Amino acid sequence: MERIYLDNAATTPLDAAVIEEMVNVMNSYYGNPSSIHAQGREVRTLIEKARKTVAGLLNATPAEIFFTSGGTEADNTAIRCGIAAFNIKHAITSKIEHHAVEHTLNMLLQQGVIDKLSFVNVDEKGNIDYNHLEELLKNNERSFVSLMHANNELGTLTDIERVGDICEQYNAIYHCDTVQTMGHYVHDVRKLKAHFIVCAAHKLHGPKGVGFLYVNHSIKISPMIFGGAQERNMRGGTENVYGIVGLAKALQIAYSEMEQHQNHIQELKTYLMDRLQNEVPDLFFNGETAPEKSLYTVLNVSFPAMDMADMLLFNLDINGISASGGSACSSGSNIGSHVLTGIAADPNRPSVRFSFSKYNTKEELDFVVEKVKQIVSQNVTA
C-alpha cells in the first residue's frame, strides 16, 4: 500500500537536492571545523558559507545566526538566556504556544527566575488579543514576550509585525517561535522587530537535528550550552556540519520556490476544505482558514462526536493515511491537546490535523475524503 503523508507540520521528507548536498559533504569533508589544519579549515568554510546563506535570506548579518540542534534548543536559548540577560521578572505568552515555550516558561516560574507569567487572551480561533497584550505590557515592569508566528496545530497566524511594534513601544524583549513558518513565508528581520526567531530544518524538507537561532544585533546574551568556543563562544559542541549544510540548502530551495509552493499547497488545502464541507456532515474547522489569516500548510478538522473517537487516527493510519490530531482535555481526566483546550474546543469531538507539502496531490486528497467519509459514517454517534 502506497501511503499518503499528511503530517508535514510534524516533519517533512528530505528534498533530494538537500540529500545530495549532505552526502557530498559526508563523502568529502571530515575535518573538525575547530581544527586549524587544512581539513578543518575546509569544513569551517562550509559552515560559514551556510551561515552567510541563511543570513542573506533573512536580511540578517551572519553574526546574528547561531546554529542549534533544532527549534526546541533555539526556543530554550532565547527564553532562558534572554530573560537572564536583562534580569526580566515578568513574561507574557499564550496558552496555545508549543511546549518548547510553554514548559520552559513554566519551569522558570517554578524556579523563581521570573516572578510572574501572564497569558494573553486568545479567541476561539486562536487569534491573539492585541489590546490585551498591550494592557499586560502597560501594567507590568519590563517584560519578555513569547508569541509564535503560526500555531502548529491550528495554523492560525499572528501578526508578528504588529506584536513587534507593541513590544518596541513598551521596551519588551520579543521572542517569536517561527518554526512552522520558516521557509514558508519571507522573514525580513530588518522589518520584523523581534529580538529572537528560530528555525528547525526538518519542517522545510531539511534534516532533523539542526536549526538556528537568530539574535538581533541590538542585544547580547550568554550561552545556554557551555563547552568549546564554537558558534563564536555562544554554543559549545562540535557543529553538526552535514545538518548545517542541509539546512542552508533547504532554506535556499524554499525561498527560491516559495510562491510556486504557496500556490500549490493553498490550492490543495482549499480543495480538501471544500470536499470535506460538502461531503461530511456536522464538520467544521478549528482555527482560522482564510488564506491571509492561516498558515497554508495546516488544516485542523473537527469531526462529529463518534464512538471510539480515539480510534479515528488509527483508522486513518490502517488505511494508509498519516495525519495527527487529538481532542481537548476534559476536566483533567485525559491528556488531550492543550491547544484545543486553550480555545475551548469541545472535548467530545475528535480533531485531525492534515498538514501538506509540495509533494502532495489532489488525487491523494480524493482518497483521503473517501476514507474519512467511510470511517465517520461507521462510527458517528447516533
Taking a C-beta distance cutoff of 8 angstroms, is the pair 336, 327 a contact? yes
Whether 123 and 240 map to the same domain: the answer is: yes
The domain tally of the chain equals: 2
Q: Quote the Cα angle for 322-94-136, to 5°.
A: 165
Q: What is the CATH number of the domain that holds 289?
A: 3.90.1150.10
Whether 87 and 216 map to the same domain: the answer is: yes
Q: Which of 226, 256, 286 is the last residue of a domain?
A: 256
Predicted confidence (pLDDT) at residue 333 exceeds the cutoff of 70: no
Closest residue by Cα to residue 146 from 57, 80, 229: 80
Whether 156 and 117 map to the same domain: the answer is: yes
- Amino acid, res. 217: H
Whether 41 and 184 map to the same domain: the answer is: yes
Q: Which of 236, 256, 276 is the last residue of a domain?
A: 256
Whether 314 and 249 map to the same domain: the answer is: no
Whether 22 and 8 map to the same domain: the answer is: no
Which of the pair, 85 or 376, is modelled with greater confidence? 85
pLDDT for position 124: 96
Whether 295 and 211 map to the same domain: the answer is: no
Whether 199 and 152 map to the same domain: the answer is: yes
Reported confidence tier of residue 334, pLDDT bands at 50, 70, 90: low
Reported confidence tier of residue 127, pLDDT bands at 50, 70, 90: very high
User: Stretch 103-129: mean pLDDT, rounded?
Assistant: 98
- Alpha-carbon distance 270 to 347, whole Å? 26
Taking a C-beta distance cutoff of 8 angstroms, is the pair 255, 183 a contact? yes
pLDDT for position 331: 45
Whether 314 and 221 map to the same domain: the answer is: no
Taking a C-beta distance cutoff of 8 angstroms, is the pair 330, 347 a contact? yes
User: Stretch 258-283: mean pLDDT, rounded?
Assistant: 97
Q: What is the CATH number of the domain that holds 70?
A: 3.40.640.10
Closest residue by Cα to residue 246 from 5, 37, 49, 1: 49
Active-site residue flag, 329: yes
User: Stretch 62-66: mean pLDDT, rounded?
Assistant: 98
Tens of pLDDT along 200-215? 999 999 999 999 999 9
Q: Which of 256, 281, 296 is the last residue of a domain?
A: 256
- Alpha-carbon distance 204 to 212, whole Å? 13
Taking a C-beta distance cutoff of 8 angstroms, is the pair 241, 46 a contact? yes
- Alpha-carbon distance 54 to 178, whole Å? 14
Average pLDDT, the chain: 95
Whether 126 and 226 map to the same domain: the answer is: yes
- Alpha-carbon distance 291 to 269, whole Å? 10
Closest residue by Cα to residue 30 from 17, 41, 21, 43: 43
Tens of pLDDT along 290-313? 999 999 999 999 999 876 656 888
Q: Which of 81, 176, 199, 329 is catalytic?
A: 329
Whether 263 and 203 map to the same domain: the answer is: no
DSSP output for 1-58: ---EE-BTTT--PPPHHHHHHHHHHHHH--S-TT--SHHHHHHHHHHHHHHHHHHHHH
pLDDT for position 377: 86
Residue 227, CA distances (Å) to 172, 236, 343 in order:
30, 4, 42
Helix runs in the chain, H state only: 16-28, 38-58, 71-85, 99-110, 130-138, 160-169, 230-233, 241-256, 258-279, 312-318, 338-342, 362-379
Reported confidence tier of residue 180, pLDDT bands at 50, 70, 90: very high
Whether 211 and 340 map to the same domain: the answer is: no
Tens of pLDDT along 226-254? 999 999 999 999 999 999 999 999 999 99
pLDDT for position 381: 57
Taking a C-beta distance cutoff of 8 angstroms, is the pair 30, 241 a contact? no
Residue 125 lies in domain: 16-256
Number of Cβ within 10 Å of residue 118's Cβ equals 18
